[in-house]
A and B are shown apart, each in its own frame.
Chain A
Amino acid sequence: MNMNDADWLTSGPQNSNAGQQQQQQQQGWAMPPTGTGTGTPAPGQMLHQQQHQYNPQPQPQPTMANYPPRAVSMTSSSFTTSSSSLNNNNNYGSRTPPTAIATSNTNSTNYNSSNRSINTTPTPRTTMKTPASTTSTNNNSNNNILVANRAADEETEDGRIRNREASTKIRDAWIYKQIRSRQDEFTQYKQGRVFIGTWNVNAKGKDESLSSWLCADWQQHGPPDIVVVGFQEMVDLNAVNVAVENKSQSRSAFWIDRIRATLNSRQNTQGDPSRSYTELAVKYLVGLLVCVFVKSPHKPRVKYVHTDSVGVGVMGVMGNKGGVSIRLQFYDSTLCFTCLHLAAHRENVTGRNADFANVYNKTSFEIGSEAVQEMIRLGSMSQWAMGTASVGVPDHDLVFWFGDLNYRVDESIPTERVLQLSEAGMLDELIEHDQLNVERAAGRVFHDFEEGKLEFKPTYKYQPGTDMYEQRPDKKLRAPAWCDRILWLAQEPGHVAQMNYLRSELNCSDHKPVMSTFLVTIKDVILAKREGVYREVMQMLDTYENNSLPMVSLDKLNLDFGLVRYDQRVTLPIVIANTGEVVAQFRLAPKVDENALCKPWLTVSPTYGMLIPGEKTEIELTITIDNSTAHRLNTNREVLDDVLILRLENGRDFYISVSGQYARSCFGMSVDELVLYSDPIRDVPLDPILRAEKYDLNSKAAMCVPKELWRIIDAIYERGLDERDLFTALGDPDEVCVIRECLDTGAPFGKFSVHSVAEVLTLFLSNLISPIVPVSIFPTLDIDAQNIQMFTRKFLEDMQPIQYNVFIYIISFFREVLLHREKNRLSPAKVAR
């Protein structure tokens, strides 16, 4: 059925404000006539309960679930269908507290709880009279909610204690709090009417129309959207009926038939199916019965209908007393209806209180996790119920509890006087001494529930078939009492307004039926908008989380060291600055499957550090080519090219590229290779292919000794072998560098001291990749005077031609040097060293 055409209650004039929402107007949600004198219930700041346990003692709300105070969306005289217009610009924490609304129906009950909802910010109360108990100390263990119960806290190495589960839940809680606080933005509020009727039928009942009870206000307000009817004592509460169900079933069927016949009478429907009512659910337990009917066009918007019953009579479980409940989702509001029959006898107040608490605590509905999810999404339930598949009474937006609660007028007024006052309709004194009113005001029962003013005479005990209180001499004289009551509990203040609270004069039972029609605010969540809000909330959180990631800036990510020479340290700095909003820790990280942070020719200092926002520091990168790296570079097994990973803890990675050109050097090469090149080594390409094109790599074409060696020795000759301390004095380090550069580039030597040249010779020889004398033929210790001749011959024969040449060449040179020993003071011992 197309809900836009649904036949919503139309008896009341449309509120002009309703035009704001075209869709709502089309749906024709019920508008009561203005000025009917109904009032908005006092905004009792009902919060969502986290616990199923009903505890009659006032209890503070666990802090985590506190929602911001909400604005009251309606005033007592105008019920509008305004949807999202309220508090669109609300920010969490800054919402208007409930405004005081004087209501007509709370004046006499003087009851308004405020203790379920202790907010982080104090909420002004509109309570007429604050129960003294609100100041009582919290002794409720439910208050101490464990956030995470599965994952244990983990201590990390830095000593911090983390719990991912708890942290996720706390985050979730925050998200849902945000969303709930903005629910006006995505919820269309519709007005509907709920009729509640309750009757203790005393096992009687005849085939009569119930319209004087169920349809009493239809003339005035039109038919309601939802009709809920509860019965007590459908059957005699004798042992047989308590134990066997047959009778209950047939009586329940009987009453359902009566109700259906009444609601769907020709007169009411006029043959129009859209005016009819559909039965949604029936639940009975011995004498208790509750049933819910909905106007047929609404049927498609009813979901998750579930029932439960709790017996609290004999042995605590048999059903001569107790409660039967039906819960459902109507559009996007969740409703719970419970029909009760509590302990009897005037003096047994505590028994009734206990029965109530029992039913309240034990009632639960296995609605399935999907339905729970949906409730959480719709903002009807707290996120704390995550993971459960069942809901309790307080998990509903709107709760109606009614039935034969059996509370009487307390014994301070004598029975006769109660009777007198009742018959005379002088109710004020009786109301004051009504046990339910007294108990509620003391916070001992029906905590947080509200009730309208009793404006009808006590409904019990009547002489069946008459409209007279039972006063027959053969019967016990009883004080008339308001046994039969209807109360409600709304999560959002102002979402339930009682339009009337009446009794019917049907007389087959010793109780009169009681009924009440409520104007209720029903939520219709616009999913797209809700998703939009969710997205905004998440986006805000994401933005904060992304902004709180560490961020640094590096002044450069590419370091080009240019030409890098052998045995030369070159250092370049990088400036790293914390440009973020949080402390940034940085460190160099090794690459995948590697241990080293960088190549061996590179050193970085420091490799880690920490910066507070705004702080900066320098990281120095240094390239050093010593003979071990030079070998690899000279043989092209290595290039001066590396990428460093600079990692921010909890943040991004930066790549720092380091590059340079290795200036080829004859240092760190082998004589075998050096003899192949006639050109200065710097001009010899590293690339083997290019090299092969340029040079004949056949060793026959080679020189007999490396030209570099020849040049050094030649230079020493030139400068004279007579120099004192030749080979023992150190050369000038700068000159050593320049000489080496001249060797590599082929540039002519300038004026260098012979000591520098001599040092170059020593360095050259000691930096050859492989020693001239191969290790394999190195003289061993068993050489003595006898075998030295033979050994020397073998030694020289074993040498490769080039090595042999070089060896002989050097030996000859040193022999020559030693000839000048008087002048240069070199001794064979010193040379050997």
Chain B
Amino acid sequence: MSNRVCHFKLVLLGDTAVGKSCLVVRFVRDEFFEFQEPTIGAAFLTQTVALDDATVKFEIWDTAGQERYRSLAPMYYRGAAAAIIVYDITNPDSFAGAKSWVKELQRRGDTNVVIAMVSLWEFGKNAGNKADLESRRKVDFNEANAYAEENGILHMETSAKNSNNVRALFVEIAKSLPKTIQQPEREAFPIMPQKQESRNCC
């Protein structure tokens, strides 16, 4: 909630059908489709998050999780300020996939990239008919948490289906982005030339 807008590139990575697109669609359009088509390509959308001290405008790349497109991912995570790596708590393979994405990013991505690991999880009372997700849980929350902590990355369980934690996730990421060094200095309008004070941030 501020007058300063910082632009950040954010990329979503993770195996196919873990819910990347659903997460983005929930965040950007506040919608959810039970039958979200697999992403064949890379979808681009923007969305703004207002913080107390700055406004963060995410330029989001939602990538294709299918294995055959994996080699194309660097095109999107290159230069990204943040990455959300998604896995599905009912699918241990997707968690292994997430770990390998973390490794790849640590190896090849920007050193300053903010990484968040996210899994789909319906919790709380509005879980609806997918409440059984918890019973099908195959990835232990604590295990994932420990892994995230070890690697210094954000870890959250969200639900695109019932909105849980979706906005919070992006707000968390926005908060942890370095808003001071990211962009060139901006100055005041020259209406008060004698009082101009250069500031960092966007």
Query: A753 CA to B187 CA in the complex, in Å?
Result: 84
Closest to A589 in B: B75
Contact call A655/B188, Cβ cutoff below 8 A = no
8 Å CB interface, A171-188 against B: 171-172, 175-176
| Cross-chain contact B69 with A655 (CB below 8 angstroms) | yes
Chain A residues positioned under 8 Å from B72 (CB to CB): 591-592, 643, 645, 655
Residues in B whose Cβ lies below 8 Å from that of A691: none
Per the bound structure, the CA–CA distance linking A171 and B195 in Å amounts to 23
B20-36 vs A, CB cutoff 8 Å, 1 = contact: the mask equals: 00000000110000000
Nearest chain B residue, comparing its CB with the CB of A176:
B3
Contact partner of A172 (CB less than 8 A), chosen from B1, B5, B71, B187, is B5
Q: Which residues of chain B are within 8 angstroms of A384 by Cβ–Cβ distance?
A: 188-189, 191
Cβ of A50 within 8 Å of any chain B Cβ, yes or no, is yes
Residues of A contacting B45 in the complex (Cβ-Cβ under 8 angstroms): 546, 549
Interface residues of A in 150-208 (CB under 8 A from B): 150-151, 165, 168-169, 171-172, 175-176
A151: chain B residues within 8 A (beta carbon): 184
Q: Contacts A592-B72, A653-B41, A654-B40 hold; do A172 and B191 have CB atoms under 8 A apart?
A: no
Interface size grouping (class) on chain B: 35 or more
Assess whether B69 is in contact with A172, with CB atoms less than 8 Å apart: no
Given contacts A373-B3, A387-B197, A546-B46, contact A150 B192 (CB under 8 A): no
* Minimum CB distance partner of A533 in chain B: B1
**Complex CA distance for A389 and B48, rounded to whole angstroms:** 26
Chain A 375-402: CB-based contact to B (< 8 A → 1; otherwise 0): 0110000011111111010000000000
Instruction: Report the stretch among A427-435, A535-543, A759-767, A818-826 that lies at the interface.
Output: A535-543
Min C-beta distance of B105 to chain A, whole Å: 15
- Are B5 and A168 in touch, CB under 8 angstroms? yes
Bound-state Cα–Cα, A557 to B196, Å: 54
Q: Which residues on the A side are within 8 Å of B137 (C-beta)?
A: none
Centre residue among B44, B184, B185 by max chain A CB count within 10 A: B44
Binds B, one of A140-148, A407-415, A417-425: A140-148
Pick the contact of B199 from A387, A557, A645 — CB < 8 Å?
Answer: A387
Q: Cα distance A646–B41 when bound, in Å?
A: 8
Asked if B187 contacts A146 (CB within 8 A), the reply is no
Task: State whether A150 touches B3 (Cβ < 8 A).
Answer: no
CB distance from B74 to the nearest CB of A (A): 5
Residue of B72, B75, B189 with highest tally of chain A CB at under 10 A: B189
Could you say which of A383, A385, A655 contacts B40, with CB atoms under 8 Å apart? Answer: A655
Cβ contact within 8 Å between A534 and B1: yes
Whether B126 is near chain A, meaning CB under 8 Å from some CB there, is no
Residues A146 and B189 in contact, CB atoms below 8 Å apart: yes
Are B48's CB and A538's CB within 8 A? Answer: yes
Residue of B nearest to A650 (CB): B44
Q: Which of A145, A149, A172, A542 sits near B47, CB closer than 8 Å?
A: A542
Asked whether B42 is an interface residue with its Cβ less than 8 Å from the other chain, the reply is yes
Q: Is B186 an interface residue (CB 8 A)?
A: yes
Picked from B4, B74, B78, B197, the residue with its CB within 8 Å of the CB of A389 is B197
Closest to A364 in B: B195
Contact (Cβ within 8 A) B187 A652: no
- The answer to whether B199 and A652 touch across the interface, beta carbons within 8 angstroms, is no
Q: Are B191 and A51 in contact (CB under 8 A)?
A: yes
Q: How many residue pairs, one in A and one in B, have C-beta atoms under 8 Å apart? A: 129
Contacts of A145 in B (CB 8 A): 189-191
A373 close to B5 (CB less than 8 A): no
A232 to B192, CA, bound (A): 31
Most buried by A among B3, B43, B72, B192: B3
**Judging by beta carbons under 8 Å apart, are A171 and B192 in contact?**
no
- Inside 8 A of B29's CB, which chain A residues have their CB? 543
Q: Would B191 and A538 count as touching, CB distance under 8 A?
A: no
Q: Which of B35-83 contact A (CB under 8 A)?
A: 40-48, 50, 53, 55, 64, 68-69, 71-72, 74-75, 78
B202 within 8 A of A: yes
Residue pair B68, A535 in contact (C-beta under 8 Å): no
Closest to B43 in A: A652
B198 contacts partner chain A, Cβ-Cβ < 8 Å: yes
B15 to chain A, nearest CB (A): 16
Q: Complex formed: what's the CA distance from A165 to B186 in Å?
A: 8
Contact call B1/A531, Cβ cutoff below 8 A: yes
A binding-site residues for B, Cβ under 8 Å: 50-52, 142, 145-147, 149-151, 165, 168-169, 171-172, 175-176, 364, 369, 373, 376-377, 383-390, 392, 530-531, 534-535, 538-539, 541-543, 545-546, 549, 557, 591-592, 643, 645-646, 651-655, 657
Leading 6 A-B pairs by shortest Cβ distance: A387-B188, A654-B41, A538-B48, A653-B42, A653-B41, A652-B44
Q: List 25 A-B contacts (CB under 8 A).
A: A52-B191, A145-B190, A146-B189, A149-B187, A169-B189, A377-B3, A384-B188, A385-B189, A386-B4, A386-B186, A386-B189, A387-B188, A387-B197, A387-B198, A388-B197, A389-B197, A531-B1, A539-B48, A545-B46, A546-B28, A591-B75, A646-B41, A653-B41, A655-B64, A655-B69
Enumerate chain B interface residues (CB-CB to A < 8 A): 1-5, 28-29, 40-48, 50, 53, 55, 64, 68-69, 71-72, 74-75, 78, 184-192, 195-199, 202
Beyond contacts A149-B189, A653-B41, A655-B72: 16 other A-B pairs, Cβ-Cβ < 8 A, are: A50-B189, A50-B191, A146-B190, A168-B186, A384-B188, A385-B191, A385-B192, A386-B188, A392-B192, A534-B1, A535-B50, A546-B28, A549-B45, A591-B72, A646-B41, A654-B40
